[in-house]
């Protein structure tokens, strides 16, 4: 073996959802190493660990390779951490993967000289090949490495995607502190996104859509079911892209007699790939919560952002889901090219038209490599330089990073304040509907639970988050 012991590090995140669930992609990489006979360990800095704890972990485990998955948001903090590690442990090689590396490739290693290797796209195969040391570096596809006396960065080129997803072992998180996360298992039943949304980097990271078989998906569910878990979240971008497969998954769940399930699709599923019969069948086996990535409120804007859906399809999906008793969340992006104030109002109208459980109006962030990023660059609409906003502002913030003639900066700031009020109002109404049997207490509680303070506690206080997740589960299984 070239590398016998790999330590994964999950850096502390500034995001609202930090430390809630284990890193799913690293879970897959960990299983690939286990299957290849390579030791691994992991430390999640979001679980209260500081740099001194990281040093203790490195000193105890003594890895010969350390890996970190890098996202574009706050990427300089990743670089800073990598540089600190390299300074203290110069003989330990560092490898990075993740969306930021996939999109920017050589530039990542050029900007952060502490990094020894980079992996683009899916990491299971190149990471294992690198650790085994049976191939020359230039023979391992999707690999970035340093070569020659001047340490010039070499990229070996894009490799084939993993077509047989059933051939990958699903994450079992044996070295993760799994009990410290919320008691919900996240599942990818597919990989890739074939759609062309101008603002989304996912199609750049994994453009080839592939699926796991229904049996393999439910094997994973059953593994955790036997260990007492009943909450599952299907987090892939296109869970329902193939209708027949969704029905097969439902049939497989039913065949294995898995009861009292609370199943979610919280990442957003396609409205144009769902119908009432599918929603009914999903509900029969335990699906209770669905998010739709609506993104726009009318057909003009849906065409501009290249969503590939119509407003009629979105409304039909939301109407059917709410009528069937699902908790429904809508996801919108605000401030895309050519969007007007009236276009934003169309989103508000759609959000208020149906009894939603939640709605998000995201601050549109142009990520490098996307069509949106190129458009903003070409038109010189940036208010903040990419190297600044990528390290300071997220889609959940209200500060605009670019403006357009239709929505200048001042208008965007007002809009985000207005839209947060809309979201709180929808939260209050949802809480009243769910607990109206408690009368005036539900009215009082709805203002507490929809307040900015409580929402912040929900995202940032682990105990509060666990309690709400437990409450959500109990309500779901008792209201079937």
Helix (H), strand (E) at residue 185: strand 185-187
Q: pTM for the complete prediction?
A: 0.94
How many Cβ atoms from other residues are within 10 Å of residue 153's Cβ? 17
Could you tell me the pLDDT band of residue 438, with boundaries at 50, 70 and 90? low
Who has greater pLDDT, 83 or 434?
83
β-sheet with 287-295: strand ranges across? 185-187, 231-234, 262-269, 287-295, 327-334, 358-363
Q: What's the whole-number average pLDDT of the chain?
A: 93
- Choose the weakest-confidence range: 12-16, 83-87, 160-164: 12-16
* CATH classification (class only), 5-155: alpha beta
Q: What is the pLDDT of residue 202?
A: 87
pLDDT digits (tens, 9 = 90+) for 389-411: 999 888 878 889 999 999 999 99
Residue 232 CB contacts under 8 Å (≥ 6 apart), including other chains: 184, 185, 186, 187, 221, 224, 261, 262, 263, 264
pLDDT digits (tens, 9 = 90+) for 189-206: 999 999 999 999 988 898
- Choose the weakest-confidence range: 124-138, 244-258, 330-344, 432-446: 432-446
| Alpha-carbon 244 to chain mean position | 25
Residue 99 CB contacts under 8 Å (≥ 6 apart), including other chains: 70, 71, 72, 201, 205
**Is residue 71 predicted with pLDDT exceeding 60?**
yes
Q: What is the pLDDT of residue 18?
A: 55
Who has greater pLDDT, 19 or 340?
340
The secondary structure of residue 116, as a DSSP letter, is -
Q: What is the pLDDT of residue 441?
A: 66
Asked if the domains 5-155 and 182-478 are classified in one and the same CATH topology, the answer is no
Who has greater pLDDT, 80 or 464?
80
* CATH numeric code, 182-478: 3.80.30.20
- Choose the weakest-confidence range: 16-20, 153-157, 420-424, 444-448: 16-20
For residues 70 and 108, the answer to whether their CB atoms sit within 8 Å is yes
Who has greater pLDDT, 48 or 224?
224
Q: Please report the beta strands in 30-78, taking only residues with DSSP state E, as ranges in sequence order.
A: 39-44, 65-69
Could you tell me the pLDDT band of residue 442, with boundaries at 50, 70 and 90? low
The two counts, helices (H) then strands (E), for the chain are 19, 15
The secondary structure of residue 121, as a DSSP letter, is S
Q: What is the pLDDT of residue 115?
A: 98
Residue 379 CB contacts under 8 Å (≥ 6 apart), including other chains: none
Q: What is the pLDDT of residue 462?
A: 67
DSSP SS3 for 414: helix
Nearest-angstrom CA–CA distance, 99 and 402:
22
Nearest-angstrom CA–CA distance, 424 and 419:
9
Instruction: Kindly state the average pLDDT of the residues 412-438.
Output: 87
**Is residue 450 predicted with pLDDT exceeding 80?**
no
Q: What is the pLDDT of residue 449?
A: 67
Residue 264 CB contacts under 8 Å (≥ 6 apart), including other chains: 184, 231, 232, 233, 234, 287, 288, 289, 290
Exposure pattern of 205-216 as b/e (b: 16+ CB <10 Å)?
bbeebebbbbeb
Alpha-helix residue ranges (DSSP H) falling in 72-213: 75-88, 99-104, 106-111, 124-132, 202-205
Q: What is the pLDDT of residue 432?
A: 80
Q: What is the pLDDT of residue 87?
A: 98
How many Cβ atoms from other residues are within 10 Å of residue 385's Cβ? 9
Nearest-angstrom CA–CA distance, 98 and 112:
15
Domain range summary for the chain, segments of one domain joined by +:
5-155, 182-478
Most confident of 6-15, 155-164, 202-211: 155-164
Q: β-strands 210-211, 231-234: how paired?
A: unpaired
Residue 475 CB contacts under 8 Å (≥ 6 apart), including other chains: 434
Closest CA to 287 of 245, 316, 256, 321: 321
Closest CA to 331 of 353, 355, 312, 356: 356
pLDDT digits (tens, 9 = 90+) for 97-108: 999 999 999 999
Q: What is the pLDDT of residue 443?
A: 67
Side-chain half-sphere exposure of 307, counting CA atoms within 13 A: 28
Q: What is the pLDDT of residue 458?
A: 67
pLDDT digits (tens, 9 = 90+) for 271-285: 999 999 999 999 999
Surface-to-core class of residue 101, CB atoms within 10 Å of its CB (0-12 exposed, 13-18 middle, 19+ buried): buried
> In the 3-class helix/strand/coil scheme, how is 281-348 assigned residue by residue?
HHHHCCEEEEEEEEECCCHHHHHHCCCCCCHHHHHHHHHHHHHCCCEEEEEEEECCCCCCHHHHHHHH
Could you tell me the pLDDT band of residue 326, with boundaries at 50, 70 and 90? very high
For residues 350 and 298, the answer to whether their CB atoms sit within 8 Å is no
For residues 36 and 132, the answer to whether their CB atoms sit within 8 Å is yes
């Amino acid at each position: 073996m070239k590398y016998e012991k790999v330590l994964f590090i999950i850096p502390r995140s500034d995001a609202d959802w930090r430390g809630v669930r284990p890193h799913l992609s690293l879970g897959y990489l960990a299983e690939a190493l286990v299957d290849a006979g390579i030791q691994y360990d992991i430390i999640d800095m979001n679980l209260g660990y500081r740099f001194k704890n990281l040093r203790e972990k490195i000193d105890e485990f003594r890895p010969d390779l350390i890996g970190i998955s890098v996202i574009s948001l706050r990427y300089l903090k990743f670089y800073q951490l990598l540089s600190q590690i390299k300074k203290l442990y110069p003989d330990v090689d560092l490898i990075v993967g993740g969306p930021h590396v996939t999109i920017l490739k050589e530039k990542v290693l050029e900007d952060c000289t502490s990094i020894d290797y980079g992996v683009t796209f899916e990491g299971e195969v190149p990471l294992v090949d690198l650790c085994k040391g049976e191939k020359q570096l230039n023979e391992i596809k999707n690999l970035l490495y340093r070569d020659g006396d001047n340490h010039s960065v070499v990229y070996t080129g894009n490799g084939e995607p993993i077509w047989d997803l059933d051939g990958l072992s699903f994450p079992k998180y044996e070295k993760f502190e799994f009990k410290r996360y919320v008691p919900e298992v996240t599942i990818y039943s597919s990989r890739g996104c074939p759609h062309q949304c101008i603002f989304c980097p996912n199609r750049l990271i994994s453009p080839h859509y592939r699926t796991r078989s229904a049996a393999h998906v439910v094997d994973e569910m059953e593994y955790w079911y036997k260990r007492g878990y009943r909450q599952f979240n299907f987090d892939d971008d296109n869970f329902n892209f193939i209708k027949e497969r969704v029905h097969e998954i439902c049939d497989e769940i039913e065949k294995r007699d898995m009861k009292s399930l609370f199943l979610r699709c919280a990442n957003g599923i396609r409205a144009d790939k769902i119908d009432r019969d599918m929603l009914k069948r999903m509900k029969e086996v335990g699906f209770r919560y669905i998010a739709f990535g609506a993104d726009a409120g009318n057909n003009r804007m849906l065409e501009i952002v290249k969503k590939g859906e119509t407003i009629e399809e979105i409304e039909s999906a939301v109407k059917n889901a709410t009528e069937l008793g699902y908790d429904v969340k809508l996801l919108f992006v605000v401030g895309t090219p050519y969007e007007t104030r009236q276009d934003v109002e169309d989103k508000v109208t759609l959000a208020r038209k149906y009894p939603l459980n939640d709605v998000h109006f995201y601050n549109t962030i142009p990520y490098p490599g996307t069509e949106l990023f190129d458009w903003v660059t070409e038109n010189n609409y940036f208010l903040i330089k990419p190297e600044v906003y990528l390290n300071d502002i997220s889609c959940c913030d209200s500060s605009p990073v670019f403006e357009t003639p239709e929505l200048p900066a001042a208008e965007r700031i007002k809009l985000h304040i207005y839209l947060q009020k809309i979201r709180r109002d929808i939260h209050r109404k949802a809480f009243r509907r769910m607990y109206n049997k408690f009368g005036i207490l539900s009215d009082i509680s709805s203002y507490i639970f929809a307040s900015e303070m409580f929402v912040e506690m929900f995202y940032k206080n682990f105990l509060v988050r666990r309690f709400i997740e437990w409450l959500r589960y109990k309500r779901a299984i008792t209201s079937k």
